[in-house]
Amino acid sequence: MRTSLLCASLITAFLVTACGGDTTSPSNDTPQRMRQAATTAATSAATPIIFTGLRSNYSITAASGGYLVTDTTGSEAARVVAATARLRFSDSSLSFDVDGIPGQVYRLYRAAFARTPDAAGLGYWIGASDQGADLLSIAQGFVSSDEFKTLYAQANTNTAVVQQYYANVLNRAGDQGGIDYWVGILDRKADTLAGVLASFSGSAENKAGTAGAVQNGIAYMEYGVNYPAYAKAFPLRTAYRQRISAPTTDYLTISGDCAGYASYTTKAPASVTFEGNSALLSETNASLGLTVCSPASLAWTIRDYFDADDALLGHSQSNSDYDITSSAQRSLPASAKVGDRGVYATQQLYADSSKSGNPGQRVLSYEVTADGNASDSAILKLSAAHTSAAGQATFSRSFSYRIGAQGTLSLLSVDEVYSNGLHLIYTVNPANAQPARLTVTDSVVGTGSAAVAGQTLTVNYTGWLYDPNAPGFKGKQFDSSAGRSAFSFTLGAGMVIQGWDQGMVGMKVGGKRTLLIPSNLGYGTAGAGGSIPGNAALVFDVELVGIK
């Protein structure tokens, strides 16, 4: 990309950003090495690894081969990413690649303006470098900006410019030999102001001087990316109140480990008392008919009790559990954006209303995810996780709804997992059935050290479209390495779908593993080629042949 085009883009996109460069003295680097550093350019754009929550919801610590990214809310599995990976959260992006494009552009930007780059401007220039702009072109764009001209308004001679480069970039006065060298370069017109700035930026001294500023990652906003956290908010509490206030019946198809049908019928709310307090009762009757599994029919009643402010007082389920809300937080947030999630109530769980014995716990959580590419709707998942008094998981149930911007809420699916491993999926349209989460099952545990991010894995594999009615959920086969060479990739580098990058961590050579991958960790709404449609969940059998 030519400098003139970069500057034109700069004016239209980021009026106050500029291009940056780095300087040094001959005592630190030879001119040849400095010029090489100054002209380094991108060869290809890195694919970001997507995390669905806010950046503040994650802790990041150094790990073998890269970094361990842990969701502190507990909604997303921890994963190890490569040291050069780029991470995209719902509100910002982050990179630890201090020697690659993000680090080079960060130092150049900081050098040009003697300040921390703003996130949007930095993201724009990282994107420009990804598309082939070299550092000299970016530096020229910075030097041509109004901010640079204002910063150097009093530097009317080449000597003054070089002295200010030393002060602004390296935070020290220049040594006389270094000043004479760079002034000579400019006086002879052997290089431009942009070229000398880029040389200062790429110097070893500047890298060392900025190391502390980037040790916790380089934060930026990717140009052209619509971060979910800044999208419209959906009225969760209003939508849920409207949903439980209107009598309705949902008919669903059961798949997973059992096949059959189900109906969920919600009655109009009624005024009652709960634990001695006035309450509003929302009652749903569930009825199941199973064509596979026994017993053939099941029925139960679900009751939720709310106060006048829509705060959840308790819950009961016939012949199952009796819950009393024990947390200060008792209601869904008034509104939430795509990427938001969290716990909205914690309840003490008893076997029945006698409240005898040691209580277990029922934790209610919510999560809002994208509804394909739609901007006026999203997917709301409401989950209940049951644990015993000993802290062991006993049961979980998740309701997934499509929520509209005006507060409409329509049921899409119900997902249940029991302590004995039984997994039932209820869907309005079984063709859109999804596993509740990434599921990893080892049929053979290999030997040796476990795979970590940054290593090259060589695998044999077969992939199927997820079919909740097929044995092992394996529907139509769409790919296999059988009869071909084994496939190799770098774990955690974004070279494969996220379901592989997350699901193959910890495998050992000789191991065989089955991955159930929801579409958001596969090929998403776009699908892949003609064999994988949009929103398709996937099943893979993978054998780890080697690790390097």
Output the DSSP codes for 57-96: GEEEEEETTEEEEEETTSSS--EEEETT-EEE-SS-EEE-
For residue range 330-360, list pLDDT tens digits in order. 899 999 988 888 999 999 888 888 887 778 8
- How would residue 431 be classed by pLDDT, with cut points 50, 70 and 90? low
**CATH code for the domain in which residue 447 is found:** 3.10.50.40
Same structural domain for residues 493 and 425? no
Q: Which of 172, 192, 170, 173 is nearest to 182 (CA)?
A: 192
Number of domains composing the chain? 3
In a domain, 220, yes or no: yes
Name the domain boundary from 229, 260, 287: 229
β-bridge partners, 252: 262
Measured in Å, how far apart are the chain's first and last C-alpha atoms? 37
Same structural domain for residues 370 and 261? yes
Same structural domain for residues 185 and 320? no
CB contact at 8 A, 55 and 69: no
pLDDT at 436: 61
Mean local confidence (pLDDT), 107-115: 96
In a domain, 453, yes or no: yes
In a domain, 120, yes or no: yes
Higher-confidence residue of 402 and 438: namely 402
Range with the poorest average pLDDT among 94-103, 160-169, 247-256:
247-256
Range with the poorest average pLDDT among 55-69, 268-282, 424-438, 470-484:
424-438
CB contact at 8 A, 413 and 425: yes
- Rounded Cα gap, residues 199 and 206, in angstroms: 10
Same structural domain for residues 378 and 449? no
For residue range 274-288, list pLDDT tens digits in order. 999 899 999 999 888
Same structural domain for residues 220 and 243? no
What's the number of CA atoms in the CB half-sphere (13 Å) around residue 190? Answer: 10
Higher-confidence residue of 28 and 4: namely 28
In a domain, 80, yes or no: no
CB contact at 8 A, 172 and 145: no
Same structural domain for residues 268 and 362? yes
In a domain, 205, yes or no: yes
Same structural domain for residues 304 and 402? yes
- Res. 42: pLDDT tops 80: no
For residue range 491-519, list pLDDT tens digits in order. 988 889 989 999 999 999 999 999 998 88
β-bridge partners, 191: none
Same structural domain for residues 145 and 224? yes
Higher-confidence residue of 535 and 51: namely 51
- Res. 7: pLDDT tops 70: no
In a domain, 259, yes or no: yes
Higher-confidence residue of 2 and 112: namely 112
Tokens 């199927």 correspond to what residue? 464
For residue range 147-159, list pLDDT tens digits in order. 999 999 999 999 9
pLDDT at 249: 86
Same structural domain for residues 186 and 317? no
CB contact at 8 A, 25 and 178: yes
In a domain, 334, yes or no: yes
Range of the domain at 155: 3-46+97-229
pLDDT at 308: 85
CB contact at 8 A, 132 and 226: no
- Res. 5: pLDDT tops 60: no
Same structural domain for residues 445 and 410? no
pLDDT at 23: 33
Name the domain boundary from 401, 431, 461: 431
- How would residue 208 be classed by pLDDT, with cut points 50, 70 and 90? very high
- How would residue 13 be classed by pLDDT, with cut points 50, 70 and 90? very low
In a domain, 90, yes or no: no
Q: Is the pTM of this model over 0.85?
A: no
Distance of CA 212 to the CA centre of its chain: 26
Same structural domain for residues 240 and 384? yes
Longest dimension (CA), the chain: 92
Same structural domain for residues 161 and 207? yes
- Res. 248: pLDDT tops 70: yes
Residue 140 main-chain phi, psi, to 5 deg = -65, -40
- Listed in sequence order, the residues at least 6 apart from 456 whose beta carbon sits closer than 8 Å to its beta carbon are 488, 489, 490, 491, 547, 548
Name the domain boundary from 405, 431, 457: 431
- Rounded Cα gap, residues 517 and 312, in angstroms: 33
Please state, rounded to an integer, the average pLDDT across all residues of the chain: 85
Report the amino acid identity of residue 427. T
